[in-house]
Structure 1
């Protein structure tokens, strides 16, 4: 005689808005499995993809696209089909999409920047942020060189966390740690934050939501509220607007959850 255990369905958390950036689909360091599980936990009215979702730079040198990367696209399309507004804000790694800005396909919009009004009435500029990175704008060769060096760090990060998981430790980002310790990196982040905050003040915004530098944070800068989504390569972070307008910074390493990988054949 066989017995069947009842299946407990996790109830999705209803939120007003999700922001994710710097997923870098098409690269080996993309945490696509964890992102798909994260997205599945929420029922959002709107989701902003704040640039560098697809890594066009990497795809030029060769195609790497496992099923897990397709699963992220599938999850976003499913959310759109169920009524979630998906706004794709272009970045520098997916700049090939900028020629199609203002394209609208059902519930999916493609833009270079967007205005978001929170439930409590604040006006936020949503932009990837590469426009405020002097190296990306004026020294593209140096940006490509820096991208290669960053890949080396991410490879070390991947192997480090492989062994941490085997020994029962949680996720930890080596590259994020280095950003806090290396003086030039700290200065670069500070300059970036100040430049984008200045633009918000000039244009009359209450704050900004951006990505680009893979450094998740919410803080006051130059009289506006600066929000950075982080990324799904090293820190696995996102921004969540609750129904009262409160914006929360989600970090996998601080969530108390391991975001287990999805079971094969699990319903969407």
Structure 2
């Protein structure tokens, strides 16, 4: 599998929690080379750590690996999300070689321009009642706990990683409707910024959606799916899963023709 990329986007790592798949992420980061690494929010789960921190050696190793990559020449950009919003106060600063920004604009090798943000700014646009949100949070937490037990058993049986929460999201109507509304909000935002697409995380569901030559890219997460968004040297975007059996999940949908522009303003 390819190990050199022009750009890599990861989000929703949730370091500091038991759900974090730090071992898989560390293995991924140690096996790749990239010019640009975007940390697209919820990298360290400061919210969860207020109640109970679970920052084991592999979590420290992930942080050390990112800093080592920054030191060795990778341009690392950290865009805080809602779980690590504390770091937003440092936007515009560079700490240990890592640039902290509220959002970014990324130009691919083939000249397209993408807005990059965590995605929690769409929470108010994607309508969901406080009660359903609370129920969803508890159910999601339960699924993550079950996910650890299930994958512990699968490892014992020699089976590869599998995401329970990912399966549920793909098969329950209300979850699918929520994801669709989120994707629509991101696509509208990209068009309002007059850009070719939007790259985000937040909802823990990696996917591509192409509508009216505007491309939505969600890089997924590292608690359920172990996914990253990658850009090749030619500018092609792909979704990659990395665990015991790394594989390419999808490559970006191909429109008949992209409208390429020389700068961000159109």
Normalization by structure 1: what TM-score? 0.86
Partner SS for 1:134: coil
- In 1, Cα distance between equivalents of 2:190 and 2:6: 23
Any gaps of 5 or more consecutive residues in structure 1? 1-10, 258-268
Alpha-carbon contact 1:22-1:233 (below 8 Å) kept: yes
Alpha-carbon contact 2:26-2:62 (below 8 Å) kept: yes
Of 72, 83, 86, the match for 2:73: 83
Q: Establish whether residue 200 from structure 1 lines up as the match of residue 190 from structure 2.
A: yes
Q: Establish whether residue 118 from structure 1 lines up as the match of residue 108 from structure 2.
A: yes
The alpha-carbon deviation at position 81 of structure 1 amounts to 0.6
Q: Establish whether residue 131 from structure 1 lines up as the match of residue 121 from structure 2.
A: yes
The alpha-carbon deviation at position 146 of structure 1 amounts to 3.3
Q: 1:86 to 1:142 in 2, by over 3 A?
A: farther
Alpha-carbon contact 2:36-2:76 (below 8 Å) kept: yes
Q: Establish whether residue 214 from structure 1 lines up as the match of residue 204 from structure 2.
A: yes
Of 79, 82, 86, the match for 1:96: 86
The alpha-carbon deviation at position 135 of structure 1 amounts to 8.0
Alpha-carbon contact 2:25-2:242 (below 8 Å) kept: no
Matches within 5 A, 1:21-100: 21-100=11-90
- In 2, Cα distance between equivalents of 1:18 and 1:124: 13
Give 1:147's aligned residue.
137
The alpha-carbon deviation at position 17 of structure 1 amounts to 0.6
Deviates more, 1:216-225 or 1:167-176: 216-225
Give 2:264's aligned residue.
none
- In 1, Cα distance between equivalents of 2:212 and 2:14: 30
Give 1:165's aligned residue.
155
Partner SS for 2:35: strand
RMSD: 2.3
Alpha-carbon contact 2:240-2:247 (below 8 Å) kept: no
Once the two structures are superposed, what CA deviation does each residue of 1:90-122 show, in whole Å capped at 9, x if it has no partner? Answer: 101111111211112363111111000000000
The alpha-carbon deviation at position 145 of structure 1 amounts to 5.3
Give 2:262's aligned residue.
none
Partner SS for 2:49: helix
Alpha-carbon contact 1:45-1:83 (below 8 Å) kept: yes
Aligned residues: 247
- In 1, Cα distance between equivalents of 2:82 and 2:134: 11
Q: 1:56 to 1:144 in 2, by over 3 A?
A: farther
The alpha-carbon deviation at position 149 of structure 1 amounts to 2.5
Structure 1 runs, 4 residues or longer, greater than 6 Å off = 135-142
Give 1:183's aligned residue.
173
Give 1:255's aligned residue.
246
Partner SS for 2:105: strand
The alpha-carbon deviation at position 136 of structure 1 amounts to 8.8
Q: Establish whether residue 235 from structure 1 lines up as the match of residue 218 from structure 2.
A: no
